[in-house]
Structure 1
Amino acid sequence: MPRMEHAFKVDLRGIIDLLSNHLYSDPSVFVRELLQNGVDAITARRARSGEFAPLIEARLLRGEGELPVLEFRDNGVGLTEGEVHEFLATIGRSSKRLDEARDTFLGQFGIGLLSCFMVSGEIELVTRSASGGPAVRWLAQADGTYTLEVLEESSPVEIGTTVRLRAREDTDFYFEYDELRGALENYGRILPYPVHVFGGEQYAHVNAAMPPWLAYAAGDTGKRDEVLAYAREELGVQALDAVPLRSEAGGLLGVALVLPHATQRSARQWHSVYLKRMLLGHDLSNLLPEWAFFVRCLLNVDGLHPTASRESFYEDDALKAAREALNAGLRGYIEELAAHDPKRLDALISLHHLPLKALATEDDDFFRLLAPQFSLETSTGRMKLGEYARRSPTLRMVTDLDQFRQIAQVASAYGHSVVNAVYTYDVPLLRAYARLFGHELEEVDAQTYALSLEDVATGGLEGVLARANAALEGLGCEVSVKRFEPAELPALLIVTSERRLLDDIEAAKDVSDDLFSEFLDDYAAEYEEVRVSRLHLNLGHGLVQDLLHVEDGAVFARLVQMMYVQAHLLGHHPLRAEELALLTGGLSDMMRWGLRATRLDTLN
């Protein structure tokens, strides 16, 4: 059987559906595509013919009872009849290949003009080439057909291209003056060629004033206040600072606005990113380093490569180099603050400590510079890491909040300051500090501190301990007598994390069905040997010394139970129903005993 060659058939309606539903995020991008074609045409004409007065303008026309029409004109290089056949009738073939390398132009994919079918049923294009020849009129339908008409040489069509679109009933919103002007300003705000929009008696030169951040980024330091005012008035951002960013990698120029409020890494980021001065998008998460979520950037790049939708960049070596340059620029800003403006650095760290800690943990040099300035919560109050390290050659940390609350009561009395390292990045920060600055790092818990408490000879106290344990029977707690600081603390309750887990399991069983309750029993059995907590009575406290001589069994038991409840409260341990019952009963008994003593005094 002879082999036969066939050509692909293209369903233009399917292509249009692909553009509108999958490639482009919003139908209004047709404005960007028209702008892009105009800019590229002007760039090509300048390359051929030298200087001339560039022009891009959009006009809205509306007849009585008719749908609006948009005429979009540029005086760029234009197209010949042959070029119209070659480039406009071949999907995917880019007319940007005329004379220059692809990197000279914004467009690279040859499908931009088709985006106009998302808002119009037909596209009319009238063009005259700067290289000479008659003007050409091209009329394309959404079904994939088109007609081509060569106009008379005497036709008044000037060099350049005019695209004419009539709105559909479901897309006339995009042909309203305010909407069109907003789209042109959004995409073309910093284009180097003038862009004008007309709508009846309304008119605007949408890029008449260049935003000050471009000049500031280029080295005009006197523009800083103007940039902050621009951020405040145009973007609604009361920025703390504006950081100029420049890099040959990617041809990058821009500013980073330091946000005035704390942010999280998971927060959605917006950055106005322009490609050759045409807005690419606001959600380019692959350009900024991950830790830089405390800034919002205004950037223009000339050397990066957009995806087909021109709403993000390809992950390639150029993008990687640009990202590294942004990383270095933002890091250099913080290094400059550390060297010359420590007060501003403190303000920045207090507001954006999480991203800065993230950066420090990833870079040893940056860590050495910044880590001493980070604030930590310790058992002796908040202090900077550098100050803490000077006071405590051994860095002590606790990674459980309940454990920290127990330790905090006694650690400072022994001259120890313990870091509450339950917050994000605190553990890697302390480990890195110990490694880089030669400190010993010790992870402690409440049981460790309990073992360091001074033992007391229990000879003669066996009976007291037996009575105390009997008073707490059924509560899963054993009593010991120690001597420790602070002396004003009568008792210290040590609850292990395993015991806390068992309490949670018991609470879960109360609301579980039989099947799940059996599963919880099996789980709890693994921690059977750590069921008890420890109540250490402080022999250095007067109340405990008096307790040893109480002979009334009821009074003795209540005193032990109230010390147990008090230790719960001082250690920030949650009170179970059993502890709440002890508290209620103990207070009632004490009030009753107080009233009884008052009556006896009266009788006497």
Structure 2
Amino acid sequence: MCRLQCVRINARLTFPEVVETIMSEWKRKIPFQVDIAGVIDIMGSSLYSRYDTPIRELLQNAHDAIMRRRRGDLQFQGKIVVRQDANAGTLSFTDDGVGLTPEDAENYLGTVGLGITGLIKRGTPPPSQQSGSADNGDLIGQFGVGLFSAFMLADRLVVESRNEAAESGVRWEAGPGTEIDLSNIERSQAGTTVTLILKSEYRFLAENSEAVETAIRDHADFLLIPIFLNDSDVRVNVIHAAWFDAQQDPESTELAIEEYFDETPLDVIPIRIENPVSISGALYVSPQRVPGFSDLPTVMVTVRRMVISRKLQGILPVWATFLRGCIELHDCSPTASREDLVRNRAFENVCEVLEQILFEHFDRLAETDPQRMESIVNWHRYSLAGAAIENERLRQILKQSYRFPTSHGPLTIQEILEKSEADPLFEDDVDRVVWYNPDRRQERWINSLFASHSAPCVSTFRSFEESLLAQCLADDFDAGIESDLRLATPTAPNFSAMILGVQDLEDAAPEWIQFLESSQARVLLGSFRADQPVMAFLNERHELAKSFEELKQRGEIPTGFQRLIDTHFADAPTSQNEIILNRNHPMISRALSQKPGTPLSCVVRLIVANALNSAGGTTTKEARQQQQDDLDWIAECLWGRDS
């Protein structure tokens, strides 16, 4: 239909000629069409996520106007006044900046995407804005959409302004449609007033001073120009914080952080660099513990002192979940909504430089103030350990500061490695052997076994600590040092001979393995101290699986959880607990000389069960019944002898 309407049909043409005419190529130029009401609706519903965003936009417009006036008058200070009128339902923003000419108002206020500040930054300012000279880095605006954001809150906008070089002012008024009213006015002072005639749902902004004050502080707390509310003599914004000083005083910065963020920092990291990127401000180690390893670190970020976000993510390394603070990023660009930063190469450079600064700071702290560094590591132990598994540079720092509980007391990773040199009498293919125990129930027992040995046994009661140790040993391998991480259990290479002093370790005979089946343990024979009949060693995963199995039999595990449990143990099967029967013990030796099933062998089975229980093992229902049967059988035999 569209093509038929574009072609005038000549009745004298044949049908093929008509078709050829219709199918011929055509082109034309059309202008972009802008639906102003649609643009305003997009700003309100999609571009900005906060209702107070227009307050930020109008404050930064006022800020830029004052900064432009300062270019022609270096002594000029300027101020911004926000006024509420509950009766009229208005909220206004007044600055004493450079102001607008009628031509400025006509050409730029009603043009979406074309702002005076943006033109100045691009080096093509309008004639009325060319006075003075300054670094354009002191200007905030960029996109030419700030004024239109006010339609989120207002049915109508009124702008009254006078350029400092003009004799009279200009009035610009618009609603959400496409018509703009423009007229001249008498205005004695240079500067601009933007008045919002608020929508009914936002009239509280004309009545509630606390809501407006909060919005000012949230967005403009650090702007260098003072902001006043309702002609108060007390400014709303802080303007300056010690962490923005060119030469930060550590004590002043710490006090400023404590006051502003309402928490006492464990450590302060002042930052001021210009190359390769410009970063200023301060980070600090928060006393607030964060849960787990997956929380992303957040920090307050300003660009030209305007707050972009108080909880910006992605700027700090993922391991720094415990850091907070405020940093000024002069080289980064805010998004059009000014609620985030553009994730471009400049942003990536800042991320890389910040991580390097943090590594260097904690390296230096570990060397110059090890006690403070250890305190930080202890306070944020799990976050740091979990993150260090994936970060070699962080592991190098933690080697000096992260202490594990061991059989020799708390030791740093480096101290553990130094004390774990391999015994050349037992080891000929590794330089280090690090023993570890992951089961808290065996801690005292395992520690007693290592008490007389130079090598410590490391307690790794959380699975990520075992992984951290393994990664540290892998780092040493890359440096040419071969190390082995071994579980403190009889079947681990050289554990029995070197640590336990057990000789001739071997699996028990099949009949004894079957007889002690209710223990659910691997049964070994060995020769060691004559006063100890049995040694028992638990396998943590085996005990966990056994506990889950009992819950399953009682029907106490939901189906969904049971599937997760089954998958977990299928991917990593459990090993057994282990017991060693001592050939040197008289009773064990006598029992082993007989076939299982005698009263003496039943005593051995009870001793094995007791050793496992003493080590912290759980007893199954079947094992408890077996123990009762053994006691009954022994009692019968003793009764018969007495009779």
TM-score (norm 2): 0.77
State how far apart, in whole Å, the 2-side matches of 1:287 and 1:505 are. Answer: 46
Task: Please list every run of 5 or more consecutive structure 1 residues that lacks an aligned counterpart in the other structure.
Answer: none
- C-alpha separation in 1, matches of 2:256 and 2:636: 73
Q: How far does residue 343 in structure 1 lie from its aligned partner after superposition?
A: 1.5
Corresponding residue to 2:289 among 257, 262, 266: 262
Aligned to 1:138: 172
Residues 532 and 45 of structure 1, relative CA distance in 2, 3 Å threshold? closer
Matched, 1:581 2:608: no
Deviations 1:419-453 (A, max 9, x none): 34532533212321454373523444733259845
- 1:172 matched to which residue of 2? 203
Q: Quick check: 1:423 aligned with 2:464?
A: yes
Match of 1:412 in 2: 450
Give the corresponding residue for 1:44: 68
Q: Which residue of 2 aligns with 1:25?
A: 49
Structure 1 pair 26/324, CA: closer, same or farther in 2 (3 Å)? same
Q: Is the 8 A contact 1:28 1:174 kept in 2?
A: no
The answer to whether the 8 A contact 1:488-1:541 is kept is yes
Shift, 1:38, TM fit: 0.8
* 1:216-238 C-alpha deviation (Å, 9 max, x unpaired): xx2232xx333333333332212
Deviation (angstroms), 1:106: 1.1
Secondary structure class of the residue paired with 1:284: strand
Give the counterpart of 1:73 among 87, 90, 94. Answer: 94
How far apart in 1 are the matches of 2:570 and 2:328? 63
Contact 1:196 1:206 in 2 (8 A): yes
2:419 and 2:233 map into 1 onto residues whose CA distance is 68
What CA distance in whole angstroms lies between the structure 2 residues aligned with 1:143 and 1:452? 87
State the shift of 1:361 in Å.
6.3
Which residue identity lines up with residue 481 of structure 2 in the other structure?
G
Flag the 1:52–1:503 CA change in 2: closer, same or farther, 3 A.
Answer: closer
Inter-CA distance 535–369: structure 2 relative to 1 (3 Å threshold) = closer
Report the alpha carbon displacement of residue 165 of structure 1 after superposing the two structures with TM. 0.9
Letter in 2 for 1:253: S
Q: 2:59 aligned with 1:35, yes or no? A: yes
Going from structure 1 to structure 2, the CA distance change for 1:97 and 1:411 (only over 3 Å counts) comes to same
Mean Cα displacement is larger for which, 136-145 or 433-442? Answer: 433-442
Aligned residue runs from structure 1 range 305-454, under 5 A: 305-354=333-382, 356-357=384-385, 368=396, 370-378=398-406, 380-394=408-422, 395-397=432-434, 401=438, 405=442, 408=446, 412=450, 415=453, 416-420=455-459, 422-424=463-465, 425-436=468-479, 438-444=481-487, 446=489, 447-448=491-492, 452=496, 454=502
Distance 1:405 1:194, change over 3 A: same
1:351 positional shift: 1.6
Give 1:412's aligned amino acid. Answer: F
Distance 1:306 1:178, change over 3 A: same
Separation of aligned partners in 1, 2:606 and 2:494: 21
The 2-side partners of 1:527 and 1:169 are apart by: 63
What is the CA deviation profile of residues 61-103 of structure 1, one whole-angstrom value per residue up to 9, with x for unaligned ones? 222xx5x311101112222222223222121122213434465
Cα separation, 1, equivalents of 2:571 and 2:329: 60
2:228 equivalent among 182, 196, 209: 196
User: CA contact under 8 A between 1:181 and 1:197: conserved in structure 2?
Assistant: yes
CA contact (8 A) 2:118 2:144 kept: no
Aligned to 1:290, the other structure's residue is in SS state: coil
Say whether 1:85 aligns with 2:96: no
**In 2, distance between residues paired with 1:48 and 1:342?**
53
Output the TM-score relative to the length of structure 1.
Answer: 0.81
- Deviation sequence 1:541-568 (CA, Å, 0-9, x none): 5663575589995643442332232233
Given that 1:361 and 1:432 are in contact with CA atoms closer than 8 Å, whether structure 2 keeps it comes out as no
- 1:99 alignment partner, SS class: helix
SS in 1 for 2:312: coil
Deviation digits for residues 272-329 of structure 1, max 9, x if unmatched?
Answer: 2111111111121122222222210111222211111112211223222222332232
Rate the CA distance shift 1:427–1:72 in 2: closer, same or farther, 3 A. Answer: same
Q: Residue 420 of structure 2 contacts residue 434 of structure 2 at CA under 8 Å; is this kept in 1?
A: no
Say which of 240, 243, 253 aligns to 2:266.
240
Corresponding position of 1:149:
183
Matches of 1:117 and 1:485, distance apart in 2: 88
Question: What is the CA-CA distance between 1:409 and the residue it aligns to?
Answer: 7.0
1:129 partner letter? N
Which deviates more from structure 2 when the two are superposed, residues 266-275 or residues 356-365?
A: 356-365
Correspondences of 1:483-502 after superposition (within 5 Å): 483-484=527-528, 488=532, 490-493=534-537
Residues 432 and 491 of structure 1, relative CA distance in 2, 3 Å threshold: same
User: 1:161 is matched with which residue: 181, 184, 192?
Assistant: 192
Aligned residue number for residue 116 of structure 1: 150
Choose which of 112, 115, 124 in structure 2 pairs with 1:94: 115
Deviation of 1:540 after TM superposition, in Å, equals 4.1
Percent identity reads 23
Aligned residue for 1:274? 302
Are positions 1:563 and 2:563 aligned together? no
Question: What is the CA RMSD across the aligned residues, in angstroms?
Answer: 4.4
Number of residues of Structure 1 aligned to a counterpart in Structure 2: 579
- 1:413–1:486: 8 Å Cα contact kept in structure 2? no
3-state secondary structure, aligned to 1:426: helix
- For 1:336 and 1:524, locate their aligned partners in 2 and report how far apart those are by CA, in whole Å: 43
Where do 1:190-229 residues align within 5 Å?
190-198=222-230, 204-207=234-237, 210-215=240-245, 218-221=246-249, 224-229=250-255
Aligned pair in 2 of structure 1 residues 531, 363: CA closer, same or farther (>3 Å)?
Answer: closer
State the one-letter code of the partner of 2:84. L
Structure 1 residues 297 and 583 mapped into 2: Cα distance closer, same or farther (>3 Å)?
farther
- Deviation of 1:35 after TM superposition, in Å, equals 0.9
Does 476-485 or 312-321 show the bigger shift? 476-485
Tell me how far apart the structure 1 counterparts of residues 285 and 632 of structure 2 sit (CA, whole Å): 58
